[in-house]
Amino acid sequence: MSEQRGLHIEGLRAGIEGNEILKGIDLQVEPGSVHALMGPNGSGKSTLAFSLAGHPNYAVSAGSVSLDGQDLLALAPDKRAAAGLFLSFQYPAAIPGVSVANFIRSARQAIRPGDLTPAKFRKLIFEQLDVLDMDPAFLSRYVNDGFSGGEKKRLEMLQMAMLAPKYAILDETDSGLDVDALRSVGNAVKALRESEAGHETGFLIITHYPRILQHITADRVHIMMDGRIVRSGGPELANEIERSGYDKIREEVAGGIA
């Protein structure tokens, strides 16, 4: 296995039902870094997230993806998670009858079998509940069953904190959230980055609007349109989108400037 570290995406092409959506994505997320992937609706952002996670409906037709030197595309979805990839969904599913505590315990066991005794698991999860300002009663509720949008996102942040992945993809995590919920997401990312287990976690934050970047500072910002990354830059690029929207960049791309 190569010693190359990072989540490396090279020439990735992928689509669904024969329709090519990703048209050659090149992107590298380094350990401990935060990358934001922005773009208008329909640009292919979520297709990238699902393709990386191994969703069976999304077919990769070309390109490569490696996670710390390991061929990610050669792995089944559960093995990708075990390798250190985490995906936060835009619309998390409800699982009636399965408690939050049992769900997270099972997820931790699947990723890192036997690394925590029940007592240590309980201690860790209560520490993370405190960081996220979540009521411990949350643990006895059924996963996402009757949850508000903000509660669903807080649960995903709790999962992320408990799994401490190598690379976390947050797909439209800010969708439909109020200011308090957005702040909770930002606090969760900050807490993970400051923890011993997660200080080298690399983040790919996929978003339509730049408002989540008010709570999470990005090292690099990428703009995606029509299945391609058309511009990359520093945090100031998100500010440009905030001021001018995507029309200016769209015009530049059409004119061959970007």
pLDDT in tens, 118-163: 999 999 999 888 877 789 999 999 999 999 888 888 899 899 989 9
Mean pLDDT estimate for the chain: 90
C-alpha to C-alpha distance for 222 and 234, rounded to whole angstroms: 9
3-class state of residue 36 by DSSP: strand
Q: How confident is the model at residue 258 (pLDDT cuts 50, 70, 90)?
A: very low
What value does the mean pLDDT take over residues 154-175?
89
C-alpha to C-alpha distance for 27 and 49, rounded to whole angstroms: 12
For tokens 């699902």, name the residue.
Answer: 50
For tokens 């109020």, name the residue.
Answer: 178
C-alpha to C-alpha distance for 43 and 184, rounded to whole angstroms: 27
Cross-strand bridge partners of residue 208: none
C-alpha to C-alpha distance for 248 and 252, rounded to whole angstroms: 6
Q: Which residues of 31-52 are buried (b: 16+ CB within 10 A; e: fewer)?
A: eebbbbbbbbeebbbbbbbbbb
Q: Residue 113 has which token pair?
A: 């079998």
Smallest CA-to-CA distance from 51 within 11, 102, 106, 82 is with 11
Phi, psi of 53 (to 5 degrees): -80, -15
Kindly give the interhelix angle for 179-194 and 149-163, rounded to the nearest 10 degrees. 0
Cross-strand bridge partners of residue 9: 27, 65
What value does the mean pLDDT take over residues 241-246?
88
The count of other CB atoms within 10 Å of the CB of residue 54 is: 19
pLDDT of res. 3: 60
Cross-strand bridge partners of residue 112: none
* Tens-digit pLDDT profile for residues 46-102: 999 999 999 999 999 999 999 999 999 999 999 999 999 999 987 888 999 999 999
**CATH placement of domain 7-254:** 3.40.50.300
Output the pTM of the full model.
Answer: 0.90
Q: Residue 77 has which token pair?
A: 């979805």
- Which helix H or strand E contains 203, and what residues bound it? strand 202-207
Long-range contacts of 152-155 (CB under 8 A, 24+ apart): 152/92, 153/88, 153/177, 153/181, 153/184, 153/185, 154/181, 154/184, 154/185, 154/188, 155/92, 155/100
Assess whether pLDDT exceeds 90 at residue 1.
no
Alpha-carbon dihedral sign for residues 72, 174, 188, 199: positive
Assess whether pLDDT exceeds 70 at residue 257.
no
Q: In this structure, are strands 7-16 and 58-67 parallel, antiparallel, or unpaired?
A: antiparallel
